[in-house]
Structure formats: structure tokens, C-alpha cells
Amino acid sequence: MRYAEERSLIPDGQSGSWKCHQAIDLALSKCLVWDLLILQRRAAGWISNDAKSCFDRIVHWVAIIAMLRFGLTWRVLSSMFNMLSSATHRVRTGFGDSERTFKPPSVIPFQGCGQGNGAGPPIWISVSSVLITMMEAMGYGFECLSALESQLVTAQCFCFVDDTDVIEAGNTVHHSGEAICASVQDAATLWAGGIRATGGAINPEKSFWWLIDFEWDSRTGKWKFRGKKAVAPNFELQIQGLSGATESLRRLEPDDLECTLGVMLAPLENLEAHKAQMVAKAKDWAEQLRSNLLHKYDVLPLIKLTIMKKLEYPMALTTLDAQQWTDIMSPVLQVCLPKAGVCRNFPWDVIFAPLSYQGLGLPHPFGCQVFKHLEMLL
């Protein structure tokens, strides 16, 4: 991995399994590309697909060739993959190793990286880097010039390990959603074919896509997204599934949120749906805590270290206002304040005030959101 990083062998589109890269950074990159599409009124197909058991299905000879690019020697690779393909396996549990074993047939060796193999993530990085480079070489993706320095910005895939988003955008504002459907289908077919050629497969049940396009609304005097019924309503994106048969992917409306990389995202920001999802998460946590017996001095630290961390993760991408965050925190405080020996109707200004001002020292999520935005920018 160090060799590959120093020689820029890992494409920018792959953000998983290497240093100084987080899933939330990739999620932010997706949102920024959506913002660019909105600003430029450009049509695009956005395909979010999930590779089925990518580590367990990697073909060994493909992995060997890909890892030779990363500076490993044939002797090292031959030793590791010969062992992986012919080893006799036992299941290790808390009660000891299993007496029964399983091993590959004499003709067909095992494939894949093996469960618990520390080399698994770098192996997948080496294979997926070739696939992303293939998409770039074939001319698929999104490109534009940066506003300040007129530098070329390109994007083909947004990968975090096996979760991948493939984008195919029109070159100019004059390309409509209907006009790019054929190229979107070609991009999806090429990516799925590359995954299948390396031993993997796309899971259609966990995959979906958006067709992004815009139209002028004369009533409001603003641009707006075109819905599924307005742009290519009869077009279905086909992809080769787990069995090898061609299946249609689920198409979403521009404001339909889906959980990707642990964050609810959509090309058209849907604050109410995002708030509802966060409220549901807070209510679920509060209900689990309601029947538990806790020492009153443990309740407030518990809020900071559990539910607040869960709410803080997507804050780099959210733009909820202070009142919306107050509504999200309400079910948590309604349950936790009495357990902490505090009246549930206690003034919220005091609850979120720092300890130095005689408050309870709970951080307000709206303030945390501001800090997360600043942290991401820095």
C-alpha cells in the first residue's frame, strides 16, 4: 500500500482501506458533485451498487496480476495464494477449534482472500483500482473545470471498499436525461462486467440508481429536478445479477433518501426526511434506555458517548437548523433527564449550558454541526 500511494497507483475514487481516508469524506465528495450538477444543470445517471462478498470471490490470478502493479514479487504472491487455495480449514470458536475440517476439491482450488486475512483490504484495493482506471480509460464519468483555477476535475467512481457509486454525466447542459440513458446503461454494464470478470457480482437487491435532470418551472421562476414520470419513465437500467441473469435496478426519485456510507443521502436535499430519520434513531435509543436501571451520575456521560456520537457522524453533511436539532434531541432528554435526577421540564438553555455557567454541560447538536462543518473545511 505504501508503494502504491507513493506512485499514485490508487485512483482518487477508491477511499477505503488506506490511510487518511474516511467514509464521511467520500460521502461529502458525492454531495459536492451533486451540487456541481445542480449548479451547471447537467443531466447524469448515478448508480449505487453493492458487490456481493467481494473479498470471498476474488479470482486469485486476477489478484496476483493486480498486486504485481503494487510492487509485490511473484515469489511472495505465489506463496500466499497457493496457501489460500489449498489450505485445510477449521472453525475457531470460544469453545475451541472444530474437529471437522473442510478443504478444497482436488480439481477446483479455493478463491477469495480468506476470512480474517489482514491482506484482504489491500488485495481488493489493487483489484478495484484497475476497474476504476478501466472506467476512466473508456471515457465514462463526470468532468468540469474548477471555478477558481480552471483545473480539470474528474470523477468516475466513488468507492469505499465494495460500496461503489458509478456516475455518467452529460458533457454539456444541452444533454437531456433521455439523451444520456444509453451511455448510463453502457457504464453500468461495463462496471458490472469488470466486477464479474474479477470473480465478484453485483447484488441488485442492494443496488439502486437516480437519473438526474432539470427543468425550468415558470410558476416559481426557478429550476427544479425532473421526477421519474417526467424523464425517461419507461427506461429501466439493466444489470447482471448474482445468478448471471439480467435484472432491473430500483430507480429512485431525486429526493428519495438512501443510506450510503452510514448517511442518508439524495441528490435533492430532503431536510424533513432526514430529520425524521434522525428522530427515529433518537427514539429507538431512548426506548432501549427507558427500562434500564442506571446510576444518575452515569446518564449524562452516556448521552455524550453513545447517542450523541451516532448523531454527530452525519453532521458534516447536514444543514438542519437549531429548532430541528432540538426536536431530534427531545425524546432523548424526555427519558434521560428524570433518570439523571433532573426535571424533564428543566429549561433547555441551562441543560445545554457549559458546566462553568452552572449548566449540565450537554453539547447542543446544532453547535456540534457547526463545528463539524468547520472541521471538514479545515
The set of residues, in sequence order, having a beta carbon less than 8 Å from that of 259 and lying 6+ positions away, is 265
Q: Which of 236, 265, 294 is the last residue of a domain?
A: 265
Q: Which of 238, 265, 292 is the last residue of a domain?
A: 265
Joined together, the cell numbers standing for residue 58 give 476474488
> Do 12 and 148 fall within a single domain?
yes
Q: How far apart are CA 340 and CA 230, in angstroms?
A: 53
Joined together, the cell numbers standing for residue 145 give 473545470
Does 157 have pLDDT greater than 90? Answer: yes
> Do 352 and 289 fall within a single domain?
yes
Rg from Cα positions in the chain: 25
> Do 139 and 160 fall within a single domain?
yes
The set of residues, in sequence order, having a beta carbon less than 8 Å from that of 40 and lying 6+ positions away, is 144, 173
User: What pLDDT score does 16 carry?
Assistant: 81
Q: Which of 265, 285, 311 is the last residue of a domain?
A: 265
- Residue-by-residue DSSP string for 97-125: E-S--B---SSS---S--TT-TTHHHHHH
Q: Is residue 251 part of a domain?
A: yes
Domain count, the chain: 2
Q: What is the residue-averaged pLDDT of the chain?
A: 91
Q: Determine the Cα angle at 18 with ends 12 and 22, to 5°.
A: 75
CA 282 to chain CA centroid, nearest Å: 22
Range of the domain at 336: 271-377
> Do 259 and 137 fall within a single domain?
yes
> Do 338 and 206 fall within a single domain?
no
> Do 142 and 35 fall within a single domain?
yes
The cell 434521560 sits on which residue? Answer: 336
Please check whether residue 138 is in contact with residue 194, taking contact to mean a CB–CB distance below 8 angstroms. Answer: no
pLDDT tier at 17, thresholds 50, 70, 90: confident
Does 9 have pLDDT greater than 80? Answer: yes
> Do 261 and 311 fall within a single domain?
no
> Do 349 and 237 fall within a single domain?
no
| 260-298 per-position pLDDT tens digit | 888 889 999 888 888 998 999 999 999 999 888 889 899
Q: Is residue 329 part of a domain?
A: yes
